[in-house]
Structure formats: structure tokens, C-alpha cells
């Protein structure tokens, strides 16, 4: 074996997604593709047709008598708790019982021989309501004193009152930030199989199998050890399958136990979009005080969120909005408050960025305000306010920013994207063109990595080596397309120094690794990669002990080399060595575990180190706007992003590009629209418009900051990549804003809200032309 030999598919290589071959052939199995046992039944949900009111009559007789129907289930049929709240607040009923709190809330389920029969039967319910006033908008919710769904958070540092009063310039305004539907291509689905005694097995399209397991037990009044939840892969999730799958799983499991048959529940796309939570929309009120140079002196902000009818994950989501209300900027004096408002809408939930984007976008708005007020390039204002050395390195939550790389990253991007010359060219273009206006913006991202609920920062893995040398890998993370399974397998391949194809990647199941956290908060690889490495290292340690003892050599003479093990001067193939170890009765299986070190958070005090580290990035976007109609194109985007030492640059780049385009959709064409009755009317791809191929930037230069290395001891010094790139798309919003600002000679901050649909852009143009 030559000295240069390396394994195939180790860390820091462009390994392709483990299921790529199966994706393109259609052989990758999603839950709806599974073979159905004979007698499989199908459940369908009946949804409320009122936004708020008492249920005065629930008559399901016609439903029960419809062709093919086997039975109906409503709140009274639940043996355990009628609740799937992910935070134990008991405010998230499976079925509305006496009270309906949003249009589209599940009221009952019908179980039938076919999905079509169940779906048709569900329309036959006779439900009567006593209507009550409903509130769908967050501003109205505050006005009428609707309650908070969970405790607000306050972050405070310094003396805001004095600093604001003494600031040479002060601006106070509001920003509306729209929500977003996940639009995972595979909708929600659960497929439950009844077992012996109280046992039930559920295949659930979920990012959080452990929570689904616990909530199914909670609803069915059984124990967690009676429930097994499995998921091999999801057809996209983006946060929408963290807390939301529990309801579907619980109904399928309940029906499976009740009727003794396998039961599948898959809502139609429209019902999926109506009945499941989305990204929170926010109404942010900010006041910023600053000096002549554009340096921020004080910030006072209120971040109000449309949470929907229950808490769900609104607490940590609104917390994270505050944690990112600074983005990359030092606020010498700051007070940030969240207002998690109840509304009569579906309960909003996790979505890539988890509130962070909605906080961050207002930080960038304040930068714009300052820039337009002072007549400067917003980039200049950004640079003047970046976190810096001691004295300018503490966040509003009192964590010191130790790993800031934005100065270098932004200056490299500024140069490679030719920011200055392009900005000049655009200013000239705009002066010469009355109708088509252009805009350019560079915005940074600094994103905190770790669950802010410290206990979630743990993970488990299970690694077996069979006596033929093949390796079985399992961990608590779930695969939703992000390539987690591939990356963790690369880590294990690296640990044992075997080719990647020796490792069998297996589906997530609560039966192998218990008490897992959601695959969320960008943490999948950080946590599960470390847990898997820990399992592999345990087995390696036993193997080294065994070889050192058997061959009477020091432990450091047992070395795992590519597909071989060197014992002193002798080399054996990995398979041969494993067989030998097995014959000597070495334990070839290990459960690995990891918990993130050093993090702590005191929510009451608003102080701590909630984040292990930060991930950084920046983007430059150029747009063209038609000021007659508000239509626009994104012309070019340049991104430089920090993933530390990438485990898999190809997959990381995929996350960056995909995250950016998804973020662009959030800020441009994806609009959630409720009518006067409180009905969401954009609940299908015909009415809710996510980006298409032709919306992606035609020039799209995406690079990794290859020099970056995580200063913390993360898995192979990599950094998390799932969420941070989404916020790079704020550069598109600000570029649109610049194009709009051009109609008033850049003297007025356009205050372009999101989503900046063509309508929103045209109305801003009109406003600025009118001088406001």
C-alpha cells in the first residue's frame, strides 16, 4: 500500500448524497411508497370551517355511514391526553373538542377502506358553531390585548434610555416580515401498524422521531416503550416536520390500535398547508440611535410574532429572533423584547432559521435607515458597526463574540464581487433610466449554533461492526435531504479508515437510539457526527487493546490505515482484523454519545453563552426593478460562506445555494394571505409561489471561505450549515430596496416590507415618488 492511499469517501471530500442513485431512479422509498399490508385503512382529517368559536354540535352520522367508512374518531375517542404540545403546555389538541381556534383546525378523523373514500366522507360532517370574534393579524392582536401564547423574553445591556436620548440621530419605525410555508415536496404522512399488547409502530415523516414517540404515547395513554417511530428519509422538512408530525402520527396510531389494522394518514397538499404551522410572521418596532458616522449608539426593539392559537415552538422561536436582532452588529446599549402573540391562525412553528431571520432582517433594516438618513452606502454603515475587538464584542445576551471573521470575509467578497465598481455603474444606470432601476446590496450573516434549550444539545449513535467487517451505522439524526447520513457516514469511515461503501446507513428509529433531539437548529452533523465518532472510538479502543495485548506491542503501534490495520510491522485487511477480534470475543458494537460543552443559558437573567460558536457568511445581490409594475429580476448573486473545515464541500454548497433561494422566496414571492373570515387563501402551489428554476440568480457565484476552521473542537472543525445561508437572501430584499430608493434620489429609506412582492415594490415606488 502506498503512503498516499486514502479511503474513498472520507471527510473533507465531495462525496455524493448516499441516496442520489435511488432519487434519480425513483427507487428511494418514502412512506407513501411503502408496501401496504392487506387490510390497510386510510384516515383523513375533518377540518374546522370557522376561525374562532364554540362547537355547538358535531354530527358525524353521515360521515360514519358513507361508503367504505370503517369508523370516525373525535376528541372523546382519545384514551390519553388530547394534546400534542411539544413543550408540555397542553394547549395543542389533536382534535378541537369544545372550541375551535383557527380555520382549518382538525375536529375529527374518518377511517375508511381507501383514502378517496375517507376524504369524501370527511366532507359530510355536520358541525355547528357559535361564532366568536377572530383575530388573525398580529397588530390587531396587540391592539385588542390578545394574550401571549408563551412568556416573552427581554434582553438588555447598558442604559438604552440615556444613550437613545443622547444620540445625535434617532429613527423609529416598524417593519412587517411575512411568514413562510415550508412547502416540503413530500407532505405530512404517518403510517401506523398495531402490535402486540399496547405496542404500535409508526412510520412518520418527521425530523423528531423521539418527540413523535413520546406524544403518541401521551395521546394513547401508553408508555414510550410501547411506541417505535421510524423514518428512513423525508421529502424535505425545513422545520415543518419537527413538532407538526405528531398529530398525524397520533391519529394514525390511535386508529391502528382501535381498528387493529394498519392505518395511513396523508393529507392533501391544501389541507397540509392549511392545518400545519409555518414560519412566524413578525411585526417589529425598532428605534435606533446613531452618530454622524453611522455608528449605532442604542437600539430598542419589540419583536411581535403571529404565533397562532397555541405555543408550539413559539417560545424558542421568538427567543431566537431576539438572539439575532443584532445580526453582526455591536449595540452599545440595547433593549430587545419579544411579544409572542396569540392569533386565530394555525400555530406557527419551526422553519429554517427558527425566528433568527425575522430578527436579523430588522438589524439590516436599521442599517438601511442609517445609511439613507446620512446619505451613505449601507455597506459603509455595516462595516462601522461589525462586532470587533474588546469593548465592542458583547452581544445583547452577554455572550462574547470570540470567533468573528466577518471583517476578512466581507472584504474578500467585496473584492471578488467587485462591489464598489458595480455600485457605481448601477448609480449611473439609474440616473439614465427612468423605468428600469437597479439595486445592489451586500449583507452579512452571523448565526448562533446550538439549541438555546441547552438540554437538546445531546445526541446518540449506535455502531455495529459485523464479523465480516461490514459496518452498521445508526444515529438519532434524520435525513431530510441535507445529506446528514452521508456526512456522518464519512466521519465513521474516517474513524475506521474504511471506504464509505463498507458502511451501511440505516433509517432513524427510536428503538436503536433513544431520547434524541430534533434534527434541527443546523445541529444534525455537529451532534450526531460527534456521537457516531464517539461510538466508533469506543470500538476502536477495544480493538487496539485487543491487538496490543495479543501481539504484545504498544497501543500506538496499532494503527488504522486505509482499509487496513497495521499492527507493529504487520498489516491486515480490516475484514481479517475484525474476524480475528470477533473470534477473540471483542465487543464490536457501541452506543456513542455527545453533549455540546461550554454552553449555558439563564433565560430569566437574559445572560449566558447559549451558542457554542457562530457561523458566518455574506452575499452580494444585484436586481433590476420595473418601476411601472414592480416586477423584478435577480440578476446576480455572489456568496462567500463559512462552514469551517467542510466535511463535504459539495453538500455544503448545496445547502448554501438551496438555503439562499429558499430565503429569497421568503422575502419576495411567498405570501401568506388570509381573508376576512380568517381563512388562509394561499394554500397550494397554484396560489403560494415558491421560487422556480427561472427565479434563481442567473449568475450565482457561491464559494466557501476555505481558510475558515472552527475554533471550537467540533466534528473535524466543521461548522453547521443548514440555516445560516437562508439569511444571505436579505441582500436581495435590500437590493430591491435600493432600486426603489433610486426614484427619490436615495434620500428616503424605502422601508420595503417582506415579502417584497411586485405589488409591495410598486407601492413603495409610488410612496417614494409621492415623497413619503
Partner 1 sequence: MSTPRTEIRFLLNDRDVRLSAVGASDTLLDHLRLAQRLTGTKEGCAEGDCGACTVLVGRRTGDQLVYGSVNACIRLLASVDGCHVVTVEHLVGSDGALHPVQQALVEHHGSQCGFCTPGIVMSLYALWMSTLAPSVEDVEVALQGNLCRCTGYQPIIDAALAVTEHGSPANDVLVTQRGAVLERLKSLQDGARVEVSREGDMAILPSNVSDLAAVLTEYPGATIVAGATDVGLWITKFMRTISPAVFIGHLEELQQITITDHAVTIGSGVTYTQFEQVLASEFAHMDEFWSRIGGWQIRNMGTIGGNIANGSPIGDTPPALIALGATLTLTSRAGRRVLPLEDYFIAYGEQDLQPGEFVETVTIPRPAPGCLNAVYKISKRRDEDISAVCGAFSLTISDGIVEAARIAYGGMAATPKRASQVEAALVGKPWTEETVQRAMAAFAKDFTPLSDWRASAEYRALSARNLLRRFYLDHQGQPVRLVRTSAA
Q: 160-189: which residues touch partner 1 (CB under 8 A)?
A: 182-187
Smallest distance, Å, CB 116 to partner 1?
8
Residue 416 interacts with partner 1 (CB under 8 A): yes or no: no
Smallest distance, Å, CB 659 to partner 1?
8
Residue 636 interacts with partner 1 (CB under 8 A): yes or no: yes
Residue 289 interacts with partner 1 (CB under 8 A): yes or no: no
Smallest distance, Å, CB 235 to partner 1?
3
Residue 233 interacts with partner 1 (CB under 8 A): yes or no: yes
Strand partners, 180: 279
Residue 482 interacts with partner 1 (CB under 8 A): yes or no: yes
Which residues, 504 to 533, sit near partner 1 by CB under 8 A?
none
CA nearest neighbour of 358 among 283, 271, 296, 431 = 283
Smallest distance, Å, CB 18 to partner 1?
11
Strand partners, 342: 308
Q: Which of 2, 3, 4, 26 binds partner 1 (CB under 8 A)?
A: 26
Smaller CB distance to partner 1: residue 227 or 480? Answer: 480
> What residues have CB less than 8 Å from 20, skipping those under 6 apart?
none
Q: Do the beta carbons of residue 462 and residue 506 sit within 8 Å?
A: no
Q: Which of 699, 706, 707, 711 binds partner 1 (CB under 8 A)?
A: 699
Residue 769 interacts with partner 1 (CB under 8 A): yes or no: no
Residue 80 interacts with partner 1 (CB under 8 A): yes or no: no
Smaller CB distance to partner 1: residue 570 or 759? Answer: 759
User: How many residues in the shown chain lie near partner 1 by CB under 8 A?
Assistant: 90
Backbone angles phi and psi of 197, in degrees to 5:
45, -125
Residue 17 interacts with partner 1 (CB under 8 A): yes or no: yes
> What residues have CB less than 8 Å from 72, skipping those under 6 apart?
60, 63, 64, 108, 109, 110, 111
Catalytic residue chosen out of the listed positions 670, 723, 734, 766: 723
Q: Do the beta carbons of residue 758 and residue 632 sit within 8 Å?
A: yes
Smallest distance, Å, CB 360 to partner 1?
20
Smallest distance, Å, CB 343 to partner 1?
18
Q: Measure the CA–CA gap between 612 and 614, rounded to whole angstroms.
A: 7
Cβ count within 10 A of residue 132: 14
Spell out, one character per residue from 591 to 610, where the chain touches partner 1: x when CB under 8 A holds, - when not. Answer: --------------------
Q: Do the beta carbons of residue 487 and residue 525 sit within 8 Å?
A: yes
> Is residue 723 annotated as part of the catalytic site, yes or no?
yes
Length of the chain: 772
Residue 123 interacts with partner 1 (CB under 8 A): yes or no: yes
Q: Do the beta carbons of residue 604 and residue 319 sit within 8 Å?
A: no
Smallest distance, Å, CB 238 to partner 1?
7
Backbone angles phi and psi of 19, in degrees to 5:
-100, 10
Residue 689 interacts with partner 1 (CB under 8 A): yes or no: yes
Residue 238 interacts with partner 1 (CB under 8 A): yes or no: yes
Q: Which of 56, 434, 570, 584 binds partner 1 (CB under 8 A)?
A: 434
Which residues, 101 to 120, sit near partner 1 by CB under 8 A?
119-120
Q: Which of 224, 571, 685, 717 binds partner 1 (CB under 8 A)?
A: 685
Cβ count within 10 A of residue 587: 13
Q: Do the beta carbons of residue 655 and residue 721 sit within 8 Å?
A: yes
Distance spanning both ends of the chain, measured CA to CA: 74
Smaller CB distance to partner 1: residue 2 or 25? Answer: 25
Residue whose entry in the numeric block shows the C-alpha cell 374518531? 73
Residue whose entry in the numeric block shows the C-alpha cell 479511503? 7
DSSP 727: G
Backbone angles phi and psi of 300, in degrees to 5:
-130, 115
Smaller CB distance to partner 1: residue 88 or 434? Answer: 434
**Catalytic annotation, residues:** 723
Amino acid at each position: 500500500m502506498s503512503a498516499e492511499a486514502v479511503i474513498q469517501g472520507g471527510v473533507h471530500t465531495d462525496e455524493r448524497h448516499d441516496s442520489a442513485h435511488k432519487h434519480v431512479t425513483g427507487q428511494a422509498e418514502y412512506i407513501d411508497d411503502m408496501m401496504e399490508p392487506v387490510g390497510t385503512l386510510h384516515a383523513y382529517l375533518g377540518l374546522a370551517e370557522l376561525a374562532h368559536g364554540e362547537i355547538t354540535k358535531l354530527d358525524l352520522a353521515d360521515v360514519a355511514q358513507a361508503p367504505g367508512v370503517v369508523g370516525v374518531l373525535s376528541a372523546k375517542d382519545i384514551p390519553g391526553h388530547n394534546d400534542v404540545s411539544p413543550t408540555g403546555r397542553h394547549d395543542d389538541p389533536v382534535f378541537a373538542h369544545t372550541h375551535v381556534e383557527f380555520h382549518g383546525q382538525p375536529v375529527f378523523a374518518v377511517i375508511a377502506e381507501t383514502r378517496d373514500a375517507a376524504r369524501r366522507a370527511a366532507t359530510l360532517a355536520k358541525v355547528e358553531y357559535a361564532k366568536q370574534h377572530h383575530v388573525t393579524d398580529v397588530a390587531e392582536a396587540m391592539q385588542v390585548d390578545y394574550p401571549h401564547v408563551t412568556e416573552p423574553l427581554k434582553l438588555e445591556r447598558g442604559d438604552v434610555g440615556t444613550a437613545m436620548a443622547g444620540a445625535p440621530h434617532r429613527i423609529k419605525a416598524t417593519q412587517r416580515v411575512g411568514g413562510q410555508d415550508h412547502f416540503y415536496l413530500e407532505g405530512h404522512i404517518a403510517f401506523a401498524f398495531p402490535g402486540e399488547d399496547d405496542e404500535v409502530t409508526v412510520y412518520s415523516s418527521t425530523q423528531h422521531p423521539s418527540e413523535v414517540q413520546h406524544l403518541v404515547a401521551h395521546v394513547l395513554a401508553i408508555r414510550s416503550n410501547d411506541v417505535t417511530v421510524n423514518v428512513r428519509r423525508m421529502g424535505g422538512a425545513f422545520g415543518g416536520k419537527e413538532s407538526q408530525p405528531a398529530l398525524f402520527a397520533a391519529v394514525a396510531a390511535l386508529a391502528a390500535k382501535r381498528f387493529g389494522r394498519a392505518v395511513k394518514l396523508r393529507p392533501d397538499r391544501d389541507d397540509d398547508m392549511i392545518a400545519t404551522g409555518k414560519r412566524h410572521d413578525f411585526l417589529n418596532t425598532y428605534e435606533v440611535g446613531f452618530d454622524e458616522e453611522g455608528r449605532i449608539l442604542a437600539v430598542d426593539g419589540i419583536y411581535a410574532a403571529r404565533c397562532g392559537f397555541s405555543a408550539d415552538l413559539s417560545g424558542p422561536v421568538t427567543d431566537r429572533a431576539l438572539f439575532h436582532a443584532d445580526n453582526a452588529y455591536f449595540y452599545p446599549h440595547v433593549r430587545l423584547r419579544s411579544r409572542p402573540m396569540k392569533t386565530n391562525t394555525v400555530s406557527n412553528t419551526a422553519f429554517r432559521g427558527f425566528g433568527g431571520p425575522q430578527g436579523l432582517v430588522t438589524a439590516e433594516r436599521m442599517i438601511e435607515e442609517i445609511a439613507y438618513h446620512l446619505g451613505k452606502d449601507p455597506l459603509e454603515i455595516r462595516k462601522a458597526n461589525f462586532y470587533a475587538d474588546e469593548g465592542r464584542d458583547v452581544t445583547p445576551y452577554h455572550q462574547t463574540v470570540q470567533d468573528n471573521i466577518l471583517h476578512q470575509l466581507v472584504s474578500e467578497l467585496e473584492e471578488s464581487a467587485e462591489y464598489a465598481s458595480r455600485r457605481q455603474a448601477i448609480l449611473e444606470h439609474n440616473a439614465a433610466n427612468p423605468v428600469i432601476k437597479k439595486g445592489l446590496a451586500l449583507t452579512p450573516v452571523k448565526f448562533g449554533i446550538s439549541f438555546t434549550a441547552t438540554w437538546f444539545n445531546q445526541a446518540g449513535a449506535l455502531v455495529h461492526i459485523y464479523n465480516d467487517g461490514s459496518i452498521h451505522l445508526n444515529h438519532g439524526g434524520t435525513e431530510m435531504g441535507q445529506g446528514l447520513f452521508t456526512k456522518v457516514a464519512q466521519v465513521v469511515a474516517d474513524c475506521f479508515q474504511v471506504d464509505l461503501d463498507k458502511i451501511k446507513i440505516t433509517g432513524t428509529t427510536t428503538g436503536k437510539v433513544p431520547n434524541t433531539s430534533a434534527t434541527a437548529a443546523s445541529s444534525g452533523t455537529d451532534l450526531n457526527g460527534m456521537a457516531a465518532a464517539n461510538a466508533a472510538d469506543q470500538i476502536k479502543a477495544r480493538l487496539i487493546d485487543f491487538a496490543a495485548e495479543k501481539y504484545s506491542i504498544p497501543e500506538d503501534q496499532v494503527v488504522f490505515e486505509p482499509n487496513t490495520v497495521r499492527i507493529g510491522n504487520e498489516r491486515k485487511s480490516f475484514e481479517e482484523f475484525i474476524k480475528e477480534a470477533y473470534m477473540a470475543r471483542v465487543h464490536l458494537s457501541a452506543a456513542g454519545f455527545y453533549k455540546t460543552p461550554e454552553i449555558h443559558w439563564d433565560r430569566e437573567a437574559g445572560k449566558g453563552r447559549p451558542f457554542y460558536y457562530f457561523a458566518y457568511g455574506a452575499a452580494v445581490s444585484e436586481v433590476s426593478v420595473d418601476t411601472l409594475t414592480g416586477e423584478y429580476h435577480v440578476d446576480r448573486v455572489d456568496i462567500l460562506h463559512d462552514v469551517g473545515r467542510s466535511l463535504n464541500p459539495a453538500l455544503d454548497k448545496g445547502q448554501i445555494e438551496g438555503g439562499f433561494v429558499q430565503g429569497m422566496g421568503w422575502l419576495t414571492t411567498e405570501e401568506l394571505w388570509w381573508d376576512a373570515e380568517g381563512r388562509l387563501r394561499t394554500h397550494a402551489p397554484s396560489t403560494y409561489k415558491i421560487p422556480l428554476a427561472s427565479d434563481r440568480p442567473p449568475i450565482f457565484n457561491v464559494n466557501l471561505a476555505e481558510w475558515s476552521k472552527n475554533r471550537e473542537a467540533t466534528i473535524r472543525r466543521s461548522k453547521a450549515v443548514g440555516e445560516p445561508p437562508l439569511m444571505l437572501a436579505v441582500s436581495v430584499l435590500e437590493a430591491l430596496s435600493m432600486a426603489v430608493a433610486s426614484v427619490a434620489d436615495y434620500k428616503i429609506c424605502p422601508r420595503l416590507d417582506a415579502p417584497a412582492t411586485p405589488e409591495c415594490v410598486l407601492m413603495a415606488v409610488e410612496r417614494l415618488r409621492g415623497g413619503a
